[in-house]
Amino acid sequence: MKSSFCIVIILLAVLSLAGLSLGQAKKNSRVAKPSVTATPQPTAEPKIEEPAKRNGRPSADLTKVKNVAIDAKGQTYFYEFTRPGFTYGNVAISHDDTGKGTISFLKDGYDETITDPVDLSAVTIAKIDSALTDLKFLDSTDEYQHPRDYSHLGNITFRLKADGRERTVKFNWTENLAARTLMDEYRKITNEYTWRFEILIARENQKLLTPGLMELIDSYIARKEISDPKHLIPFLTELSTDERLPLMARNRATKLIKQIEKAKK
């Protein structure tokens, strides 16, 4: 009896193993083709998104950018800075004697020139005209370039047209104080308008960058690297009430306005 029971158990075990083997064979037979592994593709380089319809962006070289102010009646001022490798390695500013004109610049990483309007204050124009008067610019033939070449700091071209006369000078460093003042004023104008561009882009696309940009303009003003700080008050006022910006940025704008108003008294 025991012997018969053991035989039954053994037969059941054999049948069970046979069933498992058959099931595995059927499972394997269903895999007709090897699985295909996706080939990883190179990650596309990110594209910088720019707000539409805010800036004219002619794909021309800065030296060929035609600005309306160049053809204006009366005095016409043209400034160009070139230094490849800088964040703003190409900058061109042109304006008439009321301060109205354009700034064009090529930012590192961009492939198109950005053009924005400028409206310089009477204070800034007075500083530029004072330097030109000291230089007797249109009557002079002086070369302002320092004997040593400092082109690693960037090369400057300045042109003035007035009363049918025109003169152009080029230099990268100078010991002439009036020529240095001229150079410095246009650098300060560049600081203001490239900052305006940066914070407008950040307001649309990267709002968390705006507190840092408010710190930047604060440092420019503290170092006297803005030609006429009070010229910024209307724009700072707009930013201080723009609820799209983080509270920290708005508060910093309000604080800056108070600082500028206090300083000009």
Residue whose tokens read 């500013």: 93
pLDDT in tens, 141-200: 999 999 999 999 999 999 999 989 999 999 999 999 999 999 999 999 999 999 999 999
101, 95 contact by CB (below 8 A) = yes
Flag whether the pTM goes above 0.75: no
233, 261 contact by CB (below 8 A) = yes
Cα 164–chain centre separation: 37
Domains in the chain, start-ordered, CATH in brackets?
A: 53-183 (3.30.1560), 206-265 (no CATH)
* pLDDT score of 98 more than 70: yes
Mean pLDDT of all residues in the chain? 80
pLDDT in tens, 5-45: 444 455 444 445 444 444 444 444 443 333 333 333 333 33
The pLDDT of residue 55: 39
106 vs 86: CA distance, rounded Å: 10
The pLDDT of residue 74: 57
